[in-house]
Structure formats: C-alpha cells, structure tokens
Chain A
Amino acid sequence: MPVGGMWGSDLVAIRPEFFQVMKSPFDDTETVCVKALVPDYAIVHVQEADIYGNCRILGPSYQDALMARAAKKTIVTTERIVGSYRMQEEPKLTAIPHFLVEAVVELPGGAKPGICYPEYQAVDWDKHKAYQKAVKADEVQKYADMMLEGRL
C-alpha cells in the first residue's frame, strides 16, 4: 500500500522485501509502497465488551483498533462484559465493532502483571519479578499456571 513519510528513511533501501518505490498512477511523482502484513488474528485486551464483540477501550488505544481492522479476525479478552446499551448510548466510543470479532473472553486482570487503566494502574512488581525469574529458569509454563489458576 502507498504511504507518505518514508522519504529520508534508510529502511527504503535496506528492506526491499518491505519497501518499494513506484510511480503514482495519477501523475509522475514517486511513491513509497509498503508491503502489508495481514495477521490471522489480532489479540486485544479491552476494558469493556458486549457479548457480540463490540469493544470500548478506555485511555490510550495504541494501534489496537487498526490491528483489528488489518487482521482477518480479532480475539478479545475483556475486563468486563457490559450490556449493548452501553455501545448504543455512545456509538462513537466503540473502538472495535462486533463484525471484526470472532471470540470474546471475559478475563478480569487479563493484562496482569501489567497495567490496564483505570482498573489497575501500577505494575504488580512481585509478579513481574517472578516472570523475569521464570524466563531465566525456563519456567514460563509454571508461571502461567500460577497466573491462570482457576481461569482456564
């Protein structure tokens, strides 16, 4: 797909598998084209979703709404399930609409030991240190058991 803003970046020369320069079909100007990644799934954690997959993201949304649109389908984990009336009250706040979504999982604390504004606003440092140790010791599955107890 064509993009603006790549001029001046060395990536255009370094990564020909991702960046190519083409003539614009509208005039003779040169245009940088970027190869699109098409994810099989976007996986997104949100604060609010209804049972159909309409999602609200509170606070910064980063690239999540774009990822849901780029991917073939989206899997959502959510802090809580809300009634669809929440979406109908303020449709503009729906970051991801239901037709992009294949699965909705109610999973409070789904971003732990990280942060999910405004539900938990600080890293759980004890659990994060335990993760760092688990990575070094090749014990990520054991750590997963501890974090997921009663949720699978």
Chain B
Amino acid sequence: MKNKMMSLSQATDLIKDNMLLAIGGNAMHRTPSLFTLALTKKPVKNLKLCGAAPGLATDVLLASLQADTSYFGFSGLENEAGLSPGMRKAMEGEGKVRAIEGS
C-alpha cells in the first residue's frame, strides 16, 4: 500500500476543467465543504457534479459558477438551513447551470 497523504492544495490541484465529480455526504451532513471551498480558490471551471442528495459542498461550486451541470435526485440543505442558496443563484432565472433531476 502506498502513502497517499497530501495537502488540501495538492489535492484540489487534481481537479481539472470539465471533470465530473461525485460529492459525498447529504444536505448539511458530512459534505466535503472545506474541499470545495478550497476549489473556489483555483481557476478550474465547467465542472459537472452529481449526487443523490447533494448539499452544502455542492452548493459552493454552484455559487462560484465553477460547475456548468448538476445531476441530482434532490438538491438542498434541509431543515432550518432550507433551500440551497448557491443552487438557486446558479439555476433560477436565466439558468447559468444546467439542472438534471433524475429522482
């Protein structure tokens, strides 16, 4: 087995334009939000995102408009956290990000 430890910055450098990312967790629970916040500091763009119930970490990449497509069954933050603000910003109105709902 190989040692795979790296810094947050090194790990975010693995993500390139146009990649499809499956982002873990659910709504406000155990989503990799600091990872996607770190990605907003990189010039990566046109990402495609997918998940069954994507939440906060996905919302970050929709808010930053670094994604152009999101595949989901349900997308939101649930309970008191309510709707997903970045998703609304990216998808309402002219719709800068493509929403593909498949639940």
Interface residues in chain A, defined as those with a beta carbon under 8 Å from any beta carbon in chain B: 11, 15, 18, 37-46, 51-53, 57, 59-60, 62-64, 67, 70-71, 75, 77, 81, 84, 98, 101-107, 109-117, 123, 125, 128, 131-132, 134-136, 140-141, 143-145, 147-148, 151-152
Question: In the complex the two chains form, is A140's CB within 8 Å of B40's CB?
Answer: yes
Q: Is B91 part of the binding interface, using a Cβ–Cβ cutoff of 8 Å? A: no
Interface-centre pick from A63, A105, A128 (highest chain B CB count, 10 A): A105
Q: How many A-B residue pairs have CB under 8 A?
A: 194
- Count chain B residues whose beta carbon lies closer than 8 angstroms to a beta carbon of A: 54
A/B interface sample: 26 pairs, CB < 8 A: A40-B20, A41-B19, A42-B24, A44-B25, A44-B32, A45-B57, A51-B4, A52-B2, A62-B25, A63-B22, A67-B22, A67-B24, A75-B11, A75-B14, A77-B35, A110-B33, A111-B25, A111-B34, A111-B57, A112-B33, A114-B28, A114-B55, A117-B29, A132-B85, A135-B86, A141-B64
Quick check: A38 and B29 within 8 Å, CB to CB? no
In the complex, A63 Cα to B29 Cα: how many Å?
12
Q: How far is the CB of B14 from chain A (nearest CB, A)?
A: 6
